[in-house]
């Protein structure tokens, strides 16, 4: 039962593109699939497919195929390209299997893999790959240019070409790179829309609004270019570009008023309390769990209504929008004609070219019967464990919910500064059949690990290994070094096995991880400079003074003018105090003081002379001074 629903979505899309591809080599179709998910979420999948005959592509005459992308592919001899921009997390516990079996989504951030003509040598493919990532970086305003040799791997089992490459296949090199740190946002959506023939000005692409798309719980933008030769023998092959946007929106969050975008707690009057709870009272309210689905309209959830159809030689039977809801749910559609197909849960709409299209669904209060959710091929989570800044360990939990064993490829790309100890690799409750491992080289290459695993039916397998964290060079840290370093998600591909062919070819990706590395104090180099300089200067100063200063007795020192001033000030202060006490006393004081001063000044000179005579032999400077004093 679930298999049928799982396969029906991609099948309908594939059927659509196929049927049109055979009509005209230059073709363009677009389609939106809407499916309400439990807990008042909505899954929307936009698909835009354009094709061009290979001869027109090679002679650079473009119609629906975007020229800006095509010239990059031509220049770098890229035969098949897959590019993904993803944010958020698909909650497969609540929402079931991933859309299109996970084949049109990527790991958090940016993921890119491509088959490049290797042109005879290994270095050529690398140069072309480097040109490809740099050009795509410019085209999509993303930091794809940071996919350098340390982030590039050559997977063995995880990816298979989707296109028909004929004899060329042996001469293609697969390269794969991920950027988990990349934040996907509107600046990536704008160039994505620019590649479409209708550019977000007509058709379903008008529904794509950056505010709503990047506010979604999960979204994935994908671009897939591949050659297709599915026509009759002798018919020309076409190059197909599929652009798709898949997102899971929270309906209540998206329906928020546009003028008040700040999320606030609902007012207490608006919250429905769960009165069955024992702690419910006049001053305590426990919000009732959502059972139904609030009313929603397409224009509010996605920000716009669709502005007419993208009317490019559409097939008369083609439909633009599919909504998958139980047949008893009332749906109000404007600006489109409804097509009835022999399917009970699906409603198809064909947009009219002039009026704007909108869908509205009323509140569904009763616990609605959702379209039976399909069970994902497996549940996978991955964490970093351990403490301290030196070591850690990686834990991956793979749960097989099915009644048959699963064979899968588990692929990891680790940055070079995370050094796994492969001897600690353990798999509990599963069988490791094959391992492809490329060890990391510091600052040159990351670790590439692919494992072929079999997980028994209805069981959970855990994969663990320990690793060491490298200490980076001072300049290798990013400006926000204390945030941590992103580790790319693991990619899991289910393989066909003897036990079952189900789910073969579907993909599951774990979330990306944050690795905290030992982070230095960045003012340290300057502190070291200052401290060393101070020590050197101190040493130098004392040595210099030792060599150049003349050492004299305290009595020899002539009275400094400063001391005189201090003494006079002292006298003044004492005088003031004395005046307060009595004039006579003051006079007496001043007299004694003067007398003292004169008394002192005479013996000092005498003593100096005497002592100077004693030392004179040893100290030239003193001898000179003495000579000066006694002319």
Partner 1 sequence: ACKVRFPIAIDLQSSSIPIEQRASVAIRLETLLNVHGDASPYHYKVSPAADRSVPLTVILQLETDDGGSGLHYTLDSWSPTVTVTRGAVTPGDDDLLASQLHQLMQQIMVDEHASIALLLRDSPLHANFRDGSAFASEFESLQRRTTRAFKPAPSYHLTISLFSGGSAPSSWDIKTATEQYISPLLGALSSISNFTVDTQVQLHASISPAIAGPTFESATNTWTLLATDLSGFVNAAEWPLSPGIGSGSTINLILYIPHPRQMPLILYGGGNSWIVPQWGGVQIVNPPSNTTSHLSAADLESVMLTFADQLMSLLGVPDSPSSLALRIASLQRQRTISLVLSASSTLGALVRLTRKLQSIAIPKTVAHSVDLTISHLEQACTALSEGDYIAALSSAKVAEAEAEKAFFEPSMVGQVYFPEEHKFAVYVPLLGPMGVPLVMTLIKEVKGLVGRRKEKVKVG
Catalog residues that contact partner 1 under the rule CB under 8 A. Answer: 26, 56, 59-64, 66-68, 71-72, 75, 135, 139, 194-195, 197-199, 201-202, 310-313, 529-530, 532-534, 536-538, 540-541, 544-545, 548, 628, 631
Q: Which is nearer to partner 1, 439 or 541 (CB)?
A: 541
Residue 194 CB, shortest distance to partner 1, in Å, is 5
CB of 71 to partner 1, least distance (A): 5
Give the number of other CB atoms < 10 A from CB of residue 191: 17
DSSP state of 352: -
In the complex, least distance from residue 105 CB atom to partner 1, rounded to whole angstroms: 26
Element housing 81 (H / E): strand 78-88
Q: In this complex, which beta carbon is closest to partner 1, that of residue 74 or of residue 428?
A: 74
- Nearest CA to 162 among 10, 5, 374? 10
**Closest CB to partner 1 among 276 and 545?**
545
3-state secondary structure labels for all residues of 297-319: EHHHHHCCCEECCCCCCCCCCCC
Residue 58 or 585 with smaller CB distance to partner 1: 58
At its nearest, how many Å lie between partner 1 and the CB of residue 301? 24
Closest separation in Å from C-beta 525 to partner 1: 9
Nearer to partner 1, 75 or 588 (CB): 75
Alpha-carbon span 95 to 578, nearest angstrom? 95
d(CA 25, CA 229): 11
| 371 Cβ neighbours under 8 A, 6+ residues apart | 5, 35, 324, 325, 326, 345
CB of 543 to partner 1, least distance (A): 10
Structure tokens at 170: 């042996």
112/310 with CB nearer partner 1: 310
Least Cβ distance, residue 198 to partner 1 (angstroms) = 6
CB of 64 to partner 1, least distance (A): 8
For partner 1, give the closer residue by CB, 204 or 494.
Answer: 204
Nearest-angstrom CA–CA distance, 66 and 75: 14
Q: How far is the CB of 626 from partner 1 (least distance, A)?
A: 14
Would you give the distance in Å from CA 128 to the centre of its chain? Answer: 25
Q: How far is the CB of 75 from partner 1 (least distance, A)?
A: 5
Phi, psi (degrees; rounded to nearest 5) at 394? -105, 135
Task: Indicate the residue among 387 and 549 with the shorter CB distance to partner 1.
Answer: 549
Q: How far is CA 614 from CA 122, 404, 440, 609, in A?
A: 90, 109, 78, 9
The number of beta carbons lying within 10 Å of the beta carbon of residue 417 is: 21
Q: Which is nearer to partner 1, 59 or 475 (CB)?
A: 59
Query: How far is 361 from 351, CA to CA, in rounded Å?
Result: 18
By beta-carbon proximity to partner 1, the closer residue of 61 and 483 is 61
Residue 173 is encoded by which pair of tokens?
């090199």
451-487 burial, b at 16+ Cβ within 10 Å, e below that, comes to bbbbbeeeebbebebbbebbebeeeeeeeeeeebbbb
DSSP code of 267?
A: P
Q: Tell me 273's DSSP state.
A: B
Q: Which residue has the tokens 């489109």?
A: 336
């Amino acid at each position: 039962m679930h298999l049928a629903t799982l396969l029906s979505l991609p099948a309908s899309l594939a059927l659509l593109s196929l049927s049109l591809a055979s009509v005209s080599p230059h073709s363009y179709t677009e389609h939106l699939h809407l499916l309400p998910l439990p807990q008042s979420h909505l899954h929307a999948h936009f698909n835009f497919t354009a094709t061009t005959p290979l001869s027109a592509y090679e002679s650079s005459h473009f119609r629906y195929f975007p020229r800006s992308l095509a010239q990059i592919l031509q220049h770098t001899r890229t035969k098949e390209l897959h590019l993904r921009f993803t944010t958020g997390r698909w909650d497969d516990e609540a929402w079931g299997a991933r859309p299109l079996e996970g084949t049109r989504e990527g790991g958090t951030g940016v993921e890119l893999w491509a088959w490049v003509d290797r042109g005879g040598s290994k270095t050529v493919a690398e140069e072309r790959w480097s040109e490809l990532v740099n050009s795509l970086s410019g085209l999509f305003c993303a930091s794809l240019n940071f996919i350098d040799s340390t982030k590039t791997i050559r997977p063995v089992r995880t990816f298979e070409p989707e296109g028909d490459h004929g004899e060329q296949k042996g001469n293609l090199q697969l390269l794969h790179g991920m950027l988990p740190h990349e934040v996907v946002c509107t600046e990536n959506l704008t160039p994505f829309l620019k590649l479409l023939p209708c550019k977000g000005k007509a058709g379903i692409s008008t529904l794509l609004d950056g505010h709503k798309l990047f506010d979604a719980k999960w979204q994935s933008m994908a671009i897939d270019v591949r050659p297709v030769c599915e026509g009759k023998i002798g018919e020309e092959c076409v190059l197909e570009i599929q652009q798709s946007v898949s997102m899971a929106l929270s309906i209540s969050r998206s329906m928020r008023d546009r003028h008040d975008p700040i999320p606030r707690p609902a007012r207490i009057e608006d919250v429905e309390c769960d009165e069955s709870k024992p702690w419910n009272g006049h001053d305590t309210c426990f919000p009732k769990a959502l059972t139904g689905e609030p009313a929603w309209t397409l224009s509010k959830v996605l920000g716009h209504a669709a502005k007419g159809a993208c009317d490019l030689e559409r097939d008369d039977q083609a439909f633009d929008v599919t909504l998958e809801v139980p047949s008893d749910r009332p749906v109000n559609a404007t600006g489109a004609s409804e097509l009835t197909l022999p399917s009970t849960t699906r409603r198809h709409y064909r947009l009219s070219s002039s009026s704007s299209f909108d869908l509205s669904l009323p509140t569904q209060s009763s616990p609605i019967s959702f379209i039976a959710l399909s069970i994902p091929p497996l549940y996978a989570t991955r964490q970093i464990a351990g403490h301290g800044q030196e070591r850690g360990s990686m834990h991956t939990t793979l749960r097989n919910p099915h009644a048959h064993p699963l064979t899968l490829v588990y692929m990891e790309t680790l940055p070079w500064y995370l050094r796994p100890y492969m001897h600690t690799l353990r798999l509990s409750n599963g069988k490791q059949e094959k391992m492809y491992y490329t060890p990391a080289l510091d600052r040159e290459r990351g670790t590439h690990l692919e494992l072929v695993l079999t997980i028994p039916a209805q069981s959970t397998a855990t994969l663990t290994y320990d690793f060491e964290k490298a200490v980076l060079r001072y300049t290798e840290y990013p400006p926000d070094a204390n945030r941590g370093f992103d580790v790319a998600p693991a990619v899991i591909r289910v393989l066909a096995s003897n036990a079952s062919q189900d789910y073969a070819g579907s993909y599951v990706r774990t979330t990306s991880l944050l690795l905290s590395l030992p982070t230095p104090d960045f003012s340290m180099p300057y502190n070291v400079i200052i401290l060393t300089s101070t020590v050197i200067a101190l040493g130098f100063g004392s040595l210099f003074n030792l060599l150049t200063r003349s050492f004299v007795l305290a009595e020899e020192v002539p009275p400094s003018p400063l001391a005189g001033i201090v003494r006079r000030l002292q006298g003044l202060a004492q005088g003031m105090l004395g005046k307060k006490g009595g004039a006579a006393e003051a006079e007496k004081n001043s007299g004694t003081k003067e007398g003292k001063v004169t008394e002192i000044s005479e013996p000092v000179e005498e003593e100096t002379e005497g002592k100077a005579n004693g030392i004179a032999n040893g100290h030239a400077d003193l001898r000179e001074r003495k000579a000066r004093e006694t002319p």
